[in-house]
Amino acid sequence: MNDWNKKKPSGSRLLHDSIPFHSVRFSTSPTPIHPLARVHAMAPPPSDQPPAAGPAEISKVLIVIAMQTEAMPLVTKLKLVEAAAGESMFPKCAPWIRYHGNYKGLHIDLVWPGKDPALGVDSVGTVSAALVTYASIQTFKPDLIINAGTAGGFKAKGASIGDVFLASDVAFHDRRIPIPVFDMYGVGARKTLATPNILKELNLKVGKLSTGDSLDMSPQDEAAILRNDATIKDMEGAAVAYVADMFSTPAIFVKAVTDIVDGEKPTAEEFLQNLVAVTAALDQAVTKVVDFISGKCISDL
């Protein structure tokens, strides 16, 4: 079976799901069709392809993680090994790190963008996340992407420390472009792959995820997060979704809450205090998701 047919069920599902969740509120164009929806709708599968031979079982999963502390417990749990120097498949100048292995019939690549070469801290944020996601899709051609990580949660929306969320929607909150249509491009709202069976089977919460390049939030960010109707806030999700969408690769977002954004404690302090414990909850949830995925097709999720 060729790659295109294998991808077809998942790709078309993602396209179907790609209507931004607040297109009505942000609509600045006289046309009732959202411009992004139109762009997505412009890419139907070629009609001269032979019909797909039914949905294919998921075989390759790419896990994208921002921080080493978040990645390592999962590497251990899934018994992944670090790709030897020269075998990472990434350009030598990039600090990106790849772990890989076979787990319950799945081939897993787990990537994190590594340490900043000059400063030695984790390369968090949208730029590194988008780059490593792009390179990994090109190299590993995954059937499914799992972006796993920590996030801030809003208690007003029902989030508590240690909760693990599956994001139903993603959007940016710090890309302000107050020009018609560019404003919606800046927000970059997208639906994630709908996974009703994962939700039914595993005890995860559902919420909208808002992404920006700061750990804190400015008053403008806060207003945008409210408009995004977000329950959780991170620094990578919407960037990973943008790249995944570009390559019609289904993606899900598993986020564990390390800090309460609308609480009393300063975010950075609370984040560091809870990081290790919450990472254990994240690692457990991602393992359960991977267990569930094993032997299934995208449409079973």
Binding residues for ligand SAH, per CB under 6 A? 66-67, 122, 124, 149-152, 215, 233-236, 258-259, 261, 267-268, 271
Residue 296, CB-side half-sphere exposure with 13 Å CA sphere: 16
Q: Are 236 and 132 in contact (CB under 8 A)?
A: no
Residue entry with tokens 């790190």: 97
Which entry of 70, 163, 236, 245 is annotated as an active-site residue? 70
Cβ-proximal residue to ligand SAH, closest one: 152
Minimum distance, C-beta of residue 248 to ligand SAH, in the bound complex (Å): 24
Nearer to ligand SAH, 67 or 189 (CB): 67
Q: For this structure, is 201 an active site residue?
A: no
SS3 label, residue 172: strand
Nearer to ligand SAH, 130 or 301 (CB): 130
Nearer to ligand SAH, 66 or 301 (CB): 66
Which entry of 221, 259, 270, 283 is annotated as an active-site residue? 259
The string of DSSP codes covering 126-149 is HHHHHHHHHHHHHHH--SEEEEEE
Minimum distance, C-beta of residue 258 to ligand SAH, in the bound complex (Å): 5
Minimum distance, C-beta of residue 251 to ligand SAH, in the bound complex (Å): 15
Minimum distance, C-beta of residue 65 to ligand SAH, in the bound complex (Å): 9
Nearer to ligand SAH, 15 or 64 (CB): 64
Q: For this structure, is 300 an active site residue?
A: no
Q: Are 192 and 182 in contact (CB under 8 A)?
A: no
- Determine what percent of the chain falls in helix, strand and coil, rounding each to the nearest 5: 40, 20, 40
Q: Are 207 and 157 in contact (CB under 8 A)?
A: yes
Helices marked H in the chain — which ranges?
A: 3-16, 23-26, 35-41, 68-77, 126-140, 182-187, 196-201, 219-227, 237-246, 267-293
Q: Catalytic residue numbers?
A: 70, 259
